Amino acid sequence: MNQVPEGFPVLEVNPIIDQSVRELCTRPYPLHPKGCPNFGQKDTCPPKAKMFFEVFDPSYPVYAIVNAFDYRGHKEQMRAKHPEWSERQLACVRFWQGKARKQLKLAINMFLSKHENYAATTCPEALGVNVTETLKNAGIIMEWPPKEIAYQVALAGKKKTGDC
């Protein structure tokens, strides 16, 4: 399995577009039997969100900005602090996702500061991008569910003119 190098790798990628990826938002998960509550509610969420190449210009390179969060290390730290917790409690996104998102946002800002007229999306799946296959083609194999590394991925490209 390929691991992401230290830091925040930025890889030029060929996004794999697959409309069915947007249906992942409707899958049930704990406390959300109908899937994500934002589905159909926000303009940036399916089915209202546009497809990737309706927003980004396919004639320019597209980049994946990857944050590889040490998921196993996080769980080990939580286990040391809370030895009575269950596996589900140790894995709860409430305790790691904020830190990981902050790391990804830092990486996005670093990228955008060096790439004029580029924009990034932190939810490429909402735009119909199969992130797992896109990264696989770039040499990164994501674990589902994560055991060692939880990947967060933003895609960056040049916006089509006329889009905000």
Q: Poorest-confidence range of 6-10, 60-64, 78-82, 86-90?
A: 6-10
Rounded to the nearest integer, the mean pLDDT of the chain is 89
Say whether pLDDT at 4 is over 90.
no
Reported in sequence order, the residue ranges of the chain that DSSP labels E, i.e. its strands, are 10-13, 62-70, 118-121, 149-158
What's the predicted TM-score (pTM) here?
0.85
Say whether pLDDT at 162 is over 90.
no
**pLDDT tens digit sequence for 84-111:** 999 989 888 888 888 899 999 999 999 9
How far apart, in whole angstroms, are the C-alpha atoms of residue 15 and residue 155?
A: 9
Q: What is the pLDDT of residue 32?
A: 86
Enumerate the domain spans of the chain: 10-158
Q: Are 76 and 87 in contact (CB under 8 A)?
A: no
Q: Is the N-terminal amide bond of 47 cis, ω within 30° of 0?
A: yes
